[in-house]
Amino acid sequence: MIRKRVVVHGRVQGVFFRQECLRRARVHGVGGWVRNRLDGTVEAVFEGGRENVEAMVAWARHGPPSAHVDLVETFEEPVEGVAGFEVRYDRS
């Protein structure tokens, strides 16, 4: 099990990034969450098997078809045992 936090920069809000991230995370069996941030970025946490988490990080590098990703910051974090994946509507 691993956990990674990503912050995705570019045109990533208003392009169904969160909804597509939710769908793909569920397909990959990854726990965590995704949310829009006030600065225009999208932040997500992916937790699960290494291969599945890396697949989500790789997807975040391009996002859904309408997105234009300029940069993905990736941070390793301690595993917390998160179950399920959700869209968060709090913004920071």
* Residue-wise pLDDT tens digits, 31-74: 999 999 999 999 999 999 999 999 999 999 999 999 999 999 99
Report percent pLDDT > 70 for the chain.
99
Q: What is the pLDDT of residue 90?
A: 79
Q: What's the length of the chain?
A: 92
The two tokens of residue 75 are: 């941070």
Residue from 3, 35, 36, 52 carrying the catalytic annotation: 36
Looking at domain 2-87, does it have CATH number 3.30.70.100?
yes
Q: How far is CA 4 from CA 15, 56, 63, 72, 81, in A?
A: 23, 10, 16, 12, 13
Mean pLDDT computed over 6-10: 98
Domain boundaries, the chain: 2-87
Per the annotation, the verdict on 23 as an active-site residue is no
Annotation says 52 is catalytic: no
> 18, 24, 35, 52: which one is catalytic?
18
DSSP H/E element including 65: none
- Mean pLDDT of the 70-88 span: 97
**Per the structure block, which two tokens stand in for 10?**
């570019």
